[in-house]
Amino acid sequence: MLTNRARAALITMMHTVAIPPFELFYEEHRAEVMRLLRRRLGRERADDAFQETFLRALQAYARLDHGEHLRAWVLTIARNVAIDVVRRTRSTEEVVEPAGEDGLAAYDDLAPLTDGLPPKERAAVVLRYGYDLSYDQIAHALGSSADAARQATSTGVRRIRTRRIEQ
Amino acid sequence: MTVSPDLDRRFREAASSLGLVDLGYDVIDSPVGPLFVGVSTKGLAALSFHQQDDSDLERLASFAGPRVLRSPRAVDQVRRELDEYFARRRRIFDLSLDLRGLAPFTISVLDALGKVPFGETTTYGALAARVGRPRAARAVGTVMNRNRIPIVLPCHRVVGSTGALVGYGGGLDRKVALLELEGVLL
């Protein structure tokens, strides 16, 4: 049995979803991003944070591998921007780590998919699809190059796919 | 929760001036109706008389990159040159063009088309001959019909061998209007 997060990660791995033109992505999510930022920062500080959120999204957009989970992705960026704003203004607001639906860490959540993979591939797949890290960030975490991180991730994903098809 | 027009405008301007846009577009006014203008990092990539929908934006993203964003600033130079053209103050456009994603034959035809001067006309057959395919007049017609950058690549200056206007992707009225503007039809 897979948890929802593991299932979602598997679906992402099995299908590459086209990335929509940024305009459509922006129009679809800007209202919700604004709501989140106003809730966290108030009306005054939300405007700057809004611009910052979508500029960060624009910067990362060219490096996306697929168009899955874009709503969750942009809301994560917005939360991070809000955290930065709060830090800058020296508030004492607490930063809460995101957890899976049942409180599992992504590593455990994805275990049914990644069990039995060589350690480096397993780590790369979990960081990519469980934590949504970029290949640069994965490379940093694993002490390798971004190319090697991409290679380890795709080899791991291929292994998982083959195993799922054989089952 | 709405985003104020002012904030929306500031975001689009910042995105464009920071160079974070693969293709910026806007709709501009002209004497022949609203024109959709798309400018990529390589140059003018699209100009259309028709309103563009989501799938048109996807087609632009397929060659220019996914960061397609409405951005008035990105089309400033094109807007200026088109305004000058329509005011009869410009005969030659000084714009780089983005022809990525087009077939080699299409590019060679558009290249020859770009050399047809302001105020003159040519025929489909003559254009075909100019690219070394004298029997391909019909194929040239198809390229004209699908021309991604009309006006600047002047397919309105191409007419039938009898001098009949034949057709135009933007409608014959517009072809007539552009030829009148250039003093061809009086």
Q: What is the DSSP string of A140-153?
A: HHHTS-HHHHHHHH
At A34 the three-state DSSP class reads: helix
Question: What mean pLDDT, rounded, does chain B reach?
Answer: 95
At B135 the three-state DSSP class reads: coil
Q: Which of A96, A131, A149 is the last residue of a domain?
A: A96
- A73 and A110 within one domain: no
Chain B nearest C-alpha distance from A163 (Å): 33
**How far, in Å, CA of A145 to CA of A157, rounded?**
18
Listed by number, the residues of chain A in 96-115 with a beta carbon closer than 8 Å to a beta carbon of chain B are none
CB pairs under 8 A between A and B: 67
Known active-site residue B155: yes
pLDDT band, very low/low/confident/very high, at A96 (cuts 50, 70, 90): very low
Sign of CA dihedral B139, B145, B148, B149: positive
Question: Would you state the pLDDT for residue A89?
Answer: 77
Identify whether B26 is part of a domain: yes
Counting the structural domains of chain A, the total is 2
Identify whether B94 is part of a domain: no
The domain of A148 spans 102-167
Contact by Cβ (8 Å): A46, A35: no
User: Does the pLDDT at position A130 exceed 90?
Assistant: no
User: Does the pLDDT at position B138 exceed 50?
Assistant: yes
Identify whether B96 is part of a domain: no
User: Does the pLDDT at position A141 exceed 90?
Assistant: no
- A151 and A82 within one domain: no
- A81 and A13 within one domain: yes
- A87 and A10 within one domain: yes
Contact by Cβ (8 Å): B37, B26: yes
Distances from the Cα of B143 to the Cαs of A142, B128, B149, B150, B155, in angstroms?
A: 52, 11, 11, 11, 9
Closest residue in chain B to residue A64, using alpha carbons only? B66
Select from A35, A50, A55 the Cβ nearest to the Cβ of B20. A55
User: Does the pLDDT at position B98 exceed 90?
Assistant: yes
Question: What mean pLDDT, rounded, does chain A reach?
Answer: 82
The domain of B20 spans 5-86
Identify whether B93 is part of a domain: no
- B69 and B120 within one domain: no
Catalytic residue, chosen from B46, B82, B155, B158, is B155
| Domain containing residue B66: CATH number | 3.30.160.70
**How far, in Å, CA of B83 to CA of B90, rounded?**
9
- B128 and B60 within one domain: no
| Domain containing residue A163: CATH number | 1.10.10.10
pLDDT band, very low/low/confident/very high, at A114 (cuts 50, 70, 90): confident
Q: Across residues A74-93, what is the average pLDDT? A: 84
Put residue B43 in one of left, alpha, beta given phi > 0 → left and psi -120 to 50 → alpha: left
Q: Which of B57, B86, B115 is the last residue of a domain?
A: B86
Chain A nearest C-alpha distance from B144 (Å): 27
Q: Where are the beta strands (DSSP E) in B4-121?
A: 23-28, 35-40, 44-48, 68-70
pLDDT band, very low/low/confident/very high, at A103 (cuts 50, 70, 90): very low
**How far, in Å, CA of B12 to CA of A163, rounded?**
46
At B42 the three-state DSSP class reads: coil
**How far, in Å, CA of A42 to CA of B79, rounded?**
39
Q: B69 and A23: CB-CB below 8 Å?
A: yes
User: Does the pLDDT at position B60 exceed 70?
Assistant: yes
| Domain containing residue A4: CATH number | 1.10.1740.10
pLDDT band, very low/low/confident/very high, at B2 (cuts 50, 70, 90): confident
Counting the structural domains of chain B, the total is 2
Tell me the residue type at B115: K
> Token pair for residue A9?
């990660």
